[in-house]
């Protein structure tokens, strides 16, 4: 992702109904940290482009104070473009980078709300398994789910 891609990525975030306005604010803060210093240690961002148009993005990074664990922080595909393999391609590209950086374990946190049902199915399709649930974490009745995937070591 470059600074020129930011308006398109923000448009995707703002038009994704699953994201609350507060979540969009946090997603933008993270993008700005990355764009200020793309080679910084904490966040990496990749965009998916078809022609010259941005259709989705993924943000990931090494989990602080771990040896080889990475977080998949954020992924979004433009609402009209979902279900065409773009999210899968973004995950594959990010996982390839993590493997090259000697990552061994990838974690994703998500919500148990019904709106995230398709997202949970997406994670499972990508080979992630549900490993923890913290009841009422985000709000009463909204649990935090953690999915994980182990990367093969070469
Ligand atoms: C989750 C998300 C990134 C997946 O990207 P995608 O490009 O739609 O996914 P792909 O086309 O690569 O994979 C399709 C699979 O994902 C699942 N899926 C998730 N959302 C879907 C959607 N809106 N339409 C179709 N399939 C969807 C399905 O299980 C599908 O597999 P199947 O067709 O074999 O059942 C995207 O739907 C999205 O941006 N959702 C809203 C934002 C979100 O929930 N982000 C994650 C939390 S940060």
Rounded to an integer, the average pLDDT of 9-38 is: 97
Question: Mean of the per-residue pLDDT values for the chain?
Answer: 97
pLDDT tens-digit map of 76-85: 999 999 999 9
Atom of ligand 1 nearest to the CA of 56: 39
DSSP 153: P
Per-residue pLDDT at 154 exceeds 80: no
Identify whether the C-beta of residue 47 lies closer than 8 Å to the C-beta of residue 5: yes
Structure confidence at residue 56 (pLDDT)? 98
- Check if 83 has its Cβ closer than 6 Å to any atom of ligand 1: yes
> Which residues fall within 8 angstroms of residue 94, CB to CB, at 6 or more apart?
44, 46, 58, 60, 72
- In short, whether 88's Cβ falls inside 6 Å of ligand 1 is yes
CB of 86 within 6 A of ligand 1: the answer is yes
Per-residue pLDDT reduced to its tens digit, 97-144: 999 999 999 999 999 999 999 999 999 999 999 999 999 999 999 999
Q: Are strands 105-111 and 69-77 parallel, antiparallel or unpaired?
A: parallel
């Amino acid at each position: 992702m470059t600074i020129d891609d930011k308006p398109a990525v923000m448009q995707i975030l703002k038009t994704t109904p699953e994201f609350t306005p507060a979540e969009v604010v946090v997603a933008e803060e993270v993008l700005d940290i990355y764009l200020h210093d793309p080679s910084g240690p904490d966040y990496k961002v990749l965009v998916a482009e078809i022609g010259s148009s941005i259709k989705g993005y993924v943000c990931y990074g090494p989990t602080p104070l771990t040896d080889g664990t990475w977080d998949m922080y954020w992924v979004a595909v433009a609402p009209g473009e979902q279900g065409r393999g773009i999210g899968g391609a973004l995950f594959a590209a990010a996982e390839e980078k993590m493997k090259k950086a000697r990552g061994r374990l990838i974690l994703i946190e998500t919500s148990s709300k019904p709106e995230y049902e398709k997202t949970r199915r997406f994670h499972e399709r990508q080979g992630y398994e549900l490993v923890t649930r913290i009841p009422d974490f985000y709000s009463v009745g909204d649990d935090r789910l953690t999915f994980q995937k182990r990367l093969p070591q070469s």
